Amino acid sequence: MAISQSSVLAAIDAAEDATGTQLFTRRKRHGISLTPAGRVFLISANHFLASGEEFTRSLEQFSGAAGTSLRIGCFLPFGALLIPPVLRRFRDSYGDCEITLLEGNQTQLRAWLSAGEVDVVVTYDIGQEFGSNTIPICRFPTHALVHRDSALAKLDVVSLKSLVDHPLILLDLPETGVYLLGLFDSVSSRPRIGLRTHSYETVRSAVSNGLGVSILNIRPTPETIPDNPNLVRQPTLFAADPYGAQKPAAVTAFIKELHSYFVELGPSAFAVTRDADTDELLFPAPKL
């Protein structure tokens, strides 16, 4: 593209007026040369232009015009129990995407979200709130996990009061442990803690080996890790993001696939509940 000499001179004058210093030395018949201040100005200008190009690439990434990435934070047990089949659906519908998965407790997820370290969080609505940009997906009623040889396994309904006399295998993650123990306040008695652990898999293994009973919400889906044959099973899951109405395309696509996954799976595959209650477990499709 051709640029006239007058346009170049006008740009130089404007730059010198803006900086309040002489950036170029003008010499008749020899053109112009940079002053020391001009060299510093040129370096800064090149950095500014490079930043602008990087900013443009970032916008293309968000809009889906170029290869994109998605940073997901999820409640620790969801990494194995839920996220992989949802990611398979997401990639099938959205295309190639570099995905980073951070698994943590409620406190960590809240910190990652507010610090902008994740694009979307998938977790329960227990403990402190995650802000206003939350989208409900489905409900997970609390259920008991007991050994198949336990007398409790032969009951149609297991009450909290009936669990009090058995050692409790507690999923003792921050806020989660408090929530699970708080359920027993309704019967004015709490069970003895048989084992505290941060691992969902350890809870399942401990109950399977007859060390006690447990209280959980989500059950393994058919596409993830099935229960041990020794096990018998008797809050709302949501997605949160920092973007509000201006969600990147990848975030929107992921949330839609998350909801569609549970719709197609059906309540009987992800929750332990009575048939009469299944219609209340799924929220309407999110309007994104």
Task: Tell me the average pLDDT across 168-185.
Answer: 91
Query: Which tops the pLDDT comparison, 3 or 109?
Result: 109
Listed residue (126, 143, 144) closest to 75, CA to CA = 126
The residue that leads in pLDDT, 240 or 8, is 240
DSSP codes joined into one string, 46-91:
HHHHHHHHHHHHHHHHHHTSS-EEEEEEEETTHHHHTHHHHHHHHH
Mean predicted lDDT score pLDDT of the chain: 82
Dump pLDDT digits (tens) for 221-244.
655 555 556 655 447 889 999 888
Confidence of residue 63 (pLDDT cuts 50, 70, 90): low
Percentage of the chain lying above the pLDDT 70 cut: 82
pLDDT in tens, 67-98: 478 999 999 999 988 899 999 999 999 988 89
Is the pTM of the predicted complex or chain greater than 0.85? no
Q: Is the pLDDT of residue 61 over 60?
A: no
CA-to-CA dists, residue 194 to 103, 118, 175, 210, 218, angstroms = 26, 35, 19, 11, 21
Answer yes or no: is pLDDT of 176 > 70. Answer: yes
The token duo for 286 is 């999110």
Predicted pLDDT at 89: 94
Of the pLDDT bands very low, low, confident and very high (cuts 50, 70, 90), residue 194 is very high
pLDDT at 65 over 50: no
Least confident interval from 15-24, 130-139, 176-185 = 15-24
**pLDDT, tens digit, 9 for 90 and up, residues 17-36:** 887 777 777 766 667 777 77
Ranges 48-57, 58-67, 181-190: which has the least confidence: 58-67
pLDDT reported for residue 253: 94
Of the candidates 62, 100, 88, which has an alpha carbon nearest to the alpha carbon of residue 251? 62
69: Cα separation from own chain's centroid? 13
Strand partners, 69: 98
In tens, the pLDDT along 97-120 reads 899 999 999 999 999 998 889 999
